[in-house]
Amino acid sequence: MAVQIEITRELVTRIREAINENNEEQALDLIKELHAADIAELYDELNIEESRYLYLLLDGELASDVIAELDEDDQEKFLKALSGEVIAQKFIDHMDSDDAADILGDLSEEKKQEVLLHIDDVELAGDIVDLLAYDEDSAGGLMAKEMIIVNENWTILTCLKELGRQADDVDEVYYMYVVDDGNILKGIVSLKQMLLSHNSAIVKSVLEDDIISVRTDTPSEEVAQIMEKYDLVAVPVVDSTGRLAGRITIDDIVDVIIEEAEKDYQMASGLTEDVESGDRVLRITRARLPWLIIGLAGGIFGALVLGRFESDLRIYPEMAFFIPLIAAMGGNVGIQSSAIIVQGLANNTIRNERTLQKLGKEFLVGLLNGVLLASLIFVYNWFASDSFALTITVSIALVTVVLFAALFGTLIPLVLNRFKIDPALATGPFITTLNDIIGLFLYMIIGRVLYTLFAV
């Protein structure tokens, strides 16, 4: 029984040697035990010519599996130097319609037409054209056309024959999809059900009609939520009139879920593009620069705000000591509040509570945290500082800033969401920076007032 084989440095070296010696047999022999996903990982280890040499050696089925496993960017780079004819016949012809459409969607219009022209399988070419019409981020853009479709009036025996006929095209068969004469989805029959039914039974009498489906225009994220919530491995996609259009399998949805989660994480950590540690220096730099520039702009605004208080700072330089503390706490509380909302919106647990209710609750959480933290810093400053004005200023400013950040952090993602903007932006640079600045301003203003009251 073959298990996953570790791609060792040594294996990579031997493969590169075989490629550079133009030893086809040796190269193929070295990778013959590998799964397509592992062969695709070799891409990172080889240069582009080497991987082109290697992947073109593979037979069509495997070659197309390998290409389908590559990152979008890598696919583009890999295919760029190949003619439309080679792309069509070596790769696309052996792919499922959804993978093929994904790849063609990234090609130039000209190249796309060239490839479509050279696809031998006319039905596949038609399916691809159909799929290309859908938004990439909708169920239509995710679905594949390959599925076993049976008519509700057929017998199980007819279905079995149909399965035999269609099975070659469909890798993973979980269900047969049952339609009426007008191609309207009526239900599903699991293979288990088929195996357990009599050959002469009519599909209509054994089908499961209480099924969940999505529409071609359902957003990918919603498809992911539905499949996750109802633990589905495949979901049928219907058009607005209920006709069966395709099916989405869980492996494609796992990718959506991971991308979605990574996007939020990247947002929270200030990366504006999907970068990997293996990417080039320039790309990583570019992905990081936008947040940093916003941060810089925020810093400049912060400097301007503090500049308005230069005289205070000159007389009471100790006020400056707590600037980092106030700014950090405002930022932290704001991100925390936003993250709870962002996650709640993402996994759909925020439903019936009203915005005001949420703000009320967040006010309590903020007040509790704020008072606790302010007490701690009060005690510290009581002992550590000679200035009662400073002690009271830092504590009162901290409560105020924490409260403000909690409310602001809660409100922003809700507002963004209302306006159909990705709420995760709230944990991103712009809002946190804004939070920092407002926090600083509050601190200095409170300081000015309290120092006039308490300064000795």
Applying the rule CB under 8 A, the residues between 358 and 377 that interact with a copy of itself are 358, 361, 364-365, 368-369, 372-373, 376-377
Minimum separation from the CB atom of position 112 to a copy of itself (A): 26
Residue 324 near a copy of itself by CB under 8 A: yes
State phi, psi for 138 to the nearest 5 degrees: -120, 170
Among 86, 129, 149, 160, which residue interacts with a copy of itself (rule: CB under 8 A)? 160
DSSP class per residue in 87-134: IIIIIGGGS-HHHHHHHHHTS-HHHHHHHHHH-S-HHHHHHHHHHHTS
Q: Which is nearer to a copy of itself, 3 or 456 (CB)?
A: 3
Which residue in this structure is represented by tokens 């810089």? 296
Among 50, 96, 99, 264, which residue interacts with a copy of itself (rule: CB under 8 A)? 264
> Which among 249, 264, 234, 252 has a CA at the least distance from the CA of 347?
264
Minimum separation from the CB atom of position 93 to a copy of itself (A): 20
Residues 6+ apart with CB under 8 A from 322: 390, 394, 443
> In the range 339-358, which residues lie near a copy of itself by CB under 8 A?
339-341, 343-344, 347, 349-353, 358
> In the range 368-427, which residues lie near a copy of itself by CB under 8 A?
368-369, 372-373, 376-377, 380, 402, 427
Residue 440 near a copy of itself by CB under 8 A: yes
Distance of CA 264 to the CA centre of its chain: 8
The three-state secondary structure class of 200 is coil
> In the range 65-94, which residues lie near a copy of itself by CB under 8 A?
none
Distance CA 220, CA 115 (A): 27
Residues 6+ apart with CB under 8 A from 239: 215, 216, 245
Q: How many helices (H) and strands (E) does the chain have?
A: 23, 6
Minimum separation from the CB atom of position 408 to a copy of itself (A): 15
Residues 6+ apart with CB under 8 A from 449: none
| Residue 284 C-beta-side C-alpha neighbours within 13 Å | 6
Q: Which is nearer to a copy of itself, 9 or 420 (CB)?
A: 9
Residue 5 near a copy of itself by CB under 8 A: no
> In the range 189-208, which residues lie near a copy of itself by CB under 8 A?
190-192, 194-196
Among 186, 206, 245, 400, which residue interacts with a copy of itself (rule: CB under 8 A)? 186
Q: Which is nearer to a copy of itself, 69 or 93 (CB)?
A: 69
> In the range 106-145, which residues lie near a copy of itself by CB under 8 A?
none
How would you classify residue 175: left for phi > 0, otherwise alpha for psi between -120 and 50, otherwise beta? beta
Q: Which is nearer to a copy of itself, 114 or 162 (CB)?
A: 162
- Strand 214-215 vs strand 234-238: parallel, antiparallel, or unpaired? parallel
> In the range 274-303, which residues lie near a copy of itself by CB under 8 A?
275-278, 281-282, 284-285, 288-289, 291-293, 295-296, 298-300, 302-303
184 forms beta bridges with 243
Q: Which is nearer to a copy of itself, 84 or 370 (CB)?
A: 370
